[in-house]
Amino acid sequence: MSYVPLKITFRMETPVALGFPWISFDGLVLHVLLRESLGEKYYYLPTKTPIKYIIKKLDVPMIQDPPLKKWRDIYVASVSIINGEPFIFHYFKRGDFKFTSGKIRRGSGFFKDFYLKITYVPVREVVFYATGDPRELARILGKVKALGKDRNIGFGFIKEARIEEVDYEAGLVWNNKCMRPIPVEYLKEYEDVAYLAYKPPYWDKRNIKLCGVPFTKCVLK
Q: Which of 78-92, 117-131, 172-186 has the lowest mean pLDDT?
A: 78-92
Identify which has the larger pLDDT, 116 or 123: 123
- The answer to whether 103 touches 91, Cβ cutoff 8 Å, is no
Helices (H), the chain: 25-38, 51-58, 134-141
Q: What is the pLDDT of residue 219?
A: 96
Q: What is the mean pLDDT of residues 204-211?
A: 93
Q: What is the mean pLDDT of residues 100-128?
A: 81
Q: What is the pLDDT of residue 114?
A: 78
Q: What is the pLDDT of residue 59?
A: 56
Q: Is 43 helix (H, G, I), strand (E, B) or coil?
A: helix
- The answer to whether 155 touches 1, Cβ cutoff 8 Å, is no
Q: Could you give the CA distance from residue 183 to residue 100 in angstroms, rounded to a whole number?
A: 59
The helix/strand count (H/E) of the chain reads as 3, 15
Looking only at the bridges linking them, the beta strands covering 70-71 and 16-18 are unpaired
Instruction: Encode pLDDT of 3-26 as tens digits.
Output: 999 999 999 999 999 999 999 999
- In CATH terms, the fold of domain 4-86+121-171 is Alpha-Beta Plaits (3.30.70)
Helices (H), 93-193: 134-141
Q: What is the pLDDT of residue 49?
A: 58
Q: Is the pLDDT of residue 37 over 90?
A: no
pLDDT mean across residues, the chain? 88
Q: Percent of the chain at pLDDT above 70?
A: 84
- The answer to whether 2 touches 133, Cβ cutoff 8 Å, is yes
- Amino acid type, 154: G
Q: What is the mean pLDDT of residues 139-166?
A: 94
Which region, left, alpha or beta, applies to residue 175 given φ > 0 means left and ψ of -120 to 50 means alpha?
Answer: left
The listed range with the strongest mean pLDDT (84-93, 110-119, 129-138) is 129-138
Q: What is the radius of gyration, based on Cα positions, of the chain?
A: 20
- The answer to whether 20 touches 138, Cβ cutoff 8 Å, is no
Instruction: Encode pLDDT of 43-68 as tens digits.
Output: 766 555 555 655 555 555 556 789 99
Q: What is the mean pLDDT of residues 192-200?
A: 96
pLDDT band for 152, please (50, 70, 90 cuts).
Answer: confident
Q: Could you give the CA distance from residue 108 to residue 99 in angstroms, rounded to a whole number?
A: 18
Domain boundaries, the chain: 4-86+121-171, 174-221
Q: Percent of the chain at pLDDT above 90?
A: 65
| CA nearest neighbour of 189 among 209, 169, 173 | 173
Burial grade of 4 (CB within 10 A; 0-12, 13-18, 19 or more): middle
Q: What is the pLDDT of residue 170?
A: 97
Q: Which of 108-117, 129-138, 162-171 has the lowest mean pLDDT?
A: 108-117
